[in-house]
Chain A
Amino acid sequence: MTALLAEMYSSLRGFLERLGALTRFFGRVLWLSPGAFGRPRLVVEQVYNSGAMSLVIIMTCGLFVGMVLGLQGYDLLQRFGSEDALGVGAALSLLKELGPVVTALLFAGRAGTALASELGLMRATDQISAMEVMAVDPMRRVVVPRFLGGVIAMPLLTAIFIMVALFGVQLVGVQFLGVDQGQFWSQMRDAVELGDVAEGLTKGLVFGVACSLIAVFEGYHAQPTAEGVGRATTRTVVISAVTTLVLDYILTAIML
């Protein structure tokens, strides 16, 4: 029993220490971020790396999420005889929840793991030390541009995900199941407000900060071995997913 308590105590302590380290790391990344725009090319490269690389998976998943939403939404709404509301229902759920959350999960799996393993490998092969010895701050040169690249890419990916998903909803709802095309779009246009769009993009941005931060933190602090790099990659996905869902609840509670 005491052993169990001791175990819980030590893992809680470990968690808090890690959280403290993450917070300090975040502070330093933020502090160095404005300077990164002095060399925009480094950031743009990373927007390309994180963003363009995730594009295909984001669009594929967006299409299928939208198509499923079309089927389920139609099935639900036609019980109340209001299939015409499919457009607005799908748009709101995508903007406010599904878009940002699913994009963040996919982003963590695709771009986050790539970032973490890249940084971990740089650590394991002495590239980080080599930079330090060459008097180049690896935080400035490597970590911050990657973080900012992710932060910029996420809201864009979220927007693309939502657009492709809406196309999927429309495809199933209007083309296959026969919802009225005019009603589908006009109801959506009337009911969706700018605030809803802002909510979605805010979530996308916050998740982008969280997922990018976790990925660069885990990668940068990976144990310098093959195993350590693998562990950092796994942790990135798990921690990003949990953090995204927790943050989603908090943000929703605040913004509703």
Chain B
Amino acid sequence: MNSPSGSAAGPADAGKEHVVALGGVDFAIDGKTVFRGLDIAIRRGSVTAIMGPSGTGKTTLLRLITGQVQADRGSVRVDGVDVAGLGRRELYGLRRRMGMLFQNGALLTDLDVFENVAFPLREHARLPERLVRALVLTKLQAVGLRGAAGLMPQQLSGGMARRVALARAIVMDPDILLYDEPFAGLDPISMGVVMRLIRSLNDALGISSIVVTHDVREISQIADASYILSGGQVVAEGTPADLRDHPSPVVKQFMEGLADGPVSFHYPAPDCATQLLDRGRPT
């Protein structure tokens, strides 16, 4: 894997070239296998895209990295530390250095927009109110929602909620930012803003970004590296250019958005004709 950003030089330790590294990860939920032998390495300081069909476990991957769920086998390392081996306190210490944008925003419904963004600051740092105000309004300005500071989450549209959540994710200036579908439900203008924001945050603050998304074309413009997941494994990795010219039909199908190909658009089901003719309900 080659990173065009070339900003791999992290701390002195050479083993820390990769900020996040998954090795041979197996993971099953409710007896259903999500990952089998997953290997991913995220280069420090890069924007890495994670793509894949719906339901392949992209959100689950982020939950593994933040230690919300644990791998059945294999290792999940963040900054060289195995997440599974951490106690509650150490895990919380690690998470303070991560910011995560949830797929649906996950704003706290009993706080207004301003307080939602201020939440991590108030919980973790005793800052003077003036500074809190300045930090929160700056971040809200960055996502174009300074004017919405007084609204409650219920008064926001889905796209606005996601932008507020983005402001909240960056308010603590994390080292690692995880984005779950940052572009879903955004209009083209906010999409462009958020795209540039992801890239500029990454470069200005030396953050490592992991972006889960379906929007192949958009992410290709800003990603240094991409992974395509399917069937519990990595099916392709490389720079956006590598993936465009990838020989594998799976990758081609995904990059070009075709319904027919090796990846089934359908959730596993009995044969369609049989099921339609036989009037019984699907089992």
Contact = CB atoms under 8 A, between A and B. Distances in A.
B106 A130 contact: yes
Interface string A144-159: 0000000000000000
A104 interface: no
B109 A132 contact: no
Given A121-B109, A122-B109, A129-B68, A134 B102 contact: no
Given A125-B109, A141-B123, A135 B102 contact: no
B166 interface: no
A181 B124 CA distance: 60
Interface in B150-179: 168, 172
A135 B106 contact: no
Given A134-B120, A134-B123, A136-B120, A129 B106 contact: yes
A125 B158 CA distance: 13
B199 interface: no
A133 interface: yes
Interface residues of A, number: 15
> Which interface residue of B68, B104, B108, B168 has the most chain A CB atoms within 10 A?
B108
B95 interface: yes
A127 B106 contact: yes
Name the prevailing secondary structure of the A interface residues: helix
B108 A137 contact: no
A125 B153 CA distance: 12
A202 B95 CA distance: 42
Given A122-B109, A127-B109, A137-B92, A132 B68 contact: yes
Contact of B100 (A125, A133, A141): A133
Contact of A135 (B95, B103, B104): B95
A7 interface: no
Contacts, number: 51
Contacts of A125: 104, 106, 109
Contact of B104 (A126, A136, A137, A141): A126
Contacts of A127: 106-109
A135 B92 contact: yes
B98 interface: yes
A135 B90 CA distance: 10
Interface in B92-140: 92-93, 95-96, 98, 100, 102-104, 106-109, 119-120, 123-124
A135 B120 CA distance: 8
A129 B96 contact: no
Contact of A136 (B63, B88, B93, B123): B123
Interface in A188-212: none
Contact of A133 (B95, B104, B107, B108): B95
A135 B93 contact: yes
Contacts of A122: 108-109
A121 B104 CA distance: 14
Interface of B: 63, 66, 68, 88, 92-93, 95-96, 98, 100, 102-104, 106-109, 119-120, 123-124, 168, 172
Given A130-B107, A136-B123, 16 more contacts: A121-B109, A125-B104, A126-B102, A126-B104, A127-B108, A129-B68, A130-B102, A132-B68, A133-B98, A133-B100, A134-B95, A134-B123, A135-B92, A135-B96, A135-B123, A137-B88
